[in-house]
Chain A
Amino acid sequence: MELTDRELWTLIHGMGLGAVFLLAFGGGLASLWSLRSKLVTEEGLAERTPRLLIGTTVMAVVSWLTVIVGAWVVYPWYRAAPPEGLDLAVQSDALREFPRYWLLAGEKTAEWHKFGMEWKEHVAFLAPFLATAVAVAVLYYGAQLAHRGDIRRALLIFFTLAFAAAGIAGLFGALITKAAPVA
């Protein structure tokens, strides 16, 4: 049982950081939703706020790490060009080492690149912007968020959009890896 460097980095990018992101989102969303002055006492706020701060900060940091590792470590392996002379129209074993070109060589698989990867590689970068905005707001207001319904509602929207962006990227990442692994 052995993992190549590429498999290890793909695992870190998708399952490691991705799983932490999902966990942080679940915890953060529940904490944000219930952080209302009419629902919790001052003691409750003091107990929940650090957890919310940790959840949102982890989500922001992990989203940055995920896109940086994805774009600058894993993606170059995905889009590496095959040597000259290799037939780009046939899904041969030799072409399998070049996932982008292997996908494009097949009529049934080309859309995984043209639609899936093209959307994934770009939309993923929205997640760290949105998650950072949420983490900064939580860090700035802390327990006072319970008294700022306008900000809390905006945070819920941004938090959900960050999750949507990361979710689209994660889903297509998993499906594309299944169709043409970077290994």
Chain B
Amino acid sequence: MQSSSTVQTKPNGPVAAVFLAAGIGSFVLGLFVVLNEVSTDISNFLKFDANYGLGSGVGPLSGKAILGILAFLVSWLVLGLLFRGREVRFGPILTIALILVAAGFLLTFPPVFEIFLPKEA
């Protein structure tokens, strides 16, 4: 059996692309969770169920989820084309992806996103 260092493997670009896209999707979802708290106008915009007929009774969660999913899919497509067939520096990309995922976790945590609630007069 050959050792790992001598075995030729596929370039890591496509995998780096989907990892980074997962980070971007997580962050965008978290961002819209916060924006939903910040502004009533944004909260109303995020009601994709009522505004665009995407479900019924889901409320702003429909917009937050759909925009997060779109961010994941679109960034995966764009990064996939950019990194196609390339061996990229995986360490820094993984670090950025993990920071974005951590931000996604944090921004969906109620004690964190409630910090952005408008102050009552």
Contacts and interface: CB of A to CB of B under 8 A. Distances in A.
Contacts of B59: 79
B105 A133 contact: no
A114 interface: yes
B64 to A, nearest CB: 7
Contact of A141 (B1, B15, B29): B15
B91 interface: yes
Interface string A139-167: 01100101111110010011001000100
Given A71-B61, A150-B90, A150-B91, A37 B15 contact: no
B22 A122 contact: no
A67 interface: yes
Contacts, number: 111
Contacts of A140: 10, 14-15
Interface string B42-67: 00000000000001111101101100
Contact of A123 (B18, B25, B105): B105
Contacts of B111: 115
B118 interface: no
A37 B55 CA distance: 48
Nearest to A148: B9
21 contacts: A37-B2, A37-B7, A72-B58, A75-B58, A119-B108, A119-B109, A122-B108, A125-B29, A125-B68, A129-B22, A129-B25, A129-B26, A129-B72, A132-B22, A133-B18, A137-B15, A141-B9, A146-B4, A148-B12, A151-B15, A158-B101
Interface of B: 1-4, 7, 9-10, 12, 14-15, 18-19, 21-22, 25-26, 29-30, 33, 55-59, 61-62, 64-65, 68-69, 72, 90-91, 94, 98, 101, 104-105, 108-111
Interface of A: 37-38, 41-42, 67, 71-72, 75-77, 79-80, 114-115, 118-119, 121-123, 125-126, 129-130, 132-133, 136-137, 140-141, 144, 146-151, 154, 157-158, 161, 165
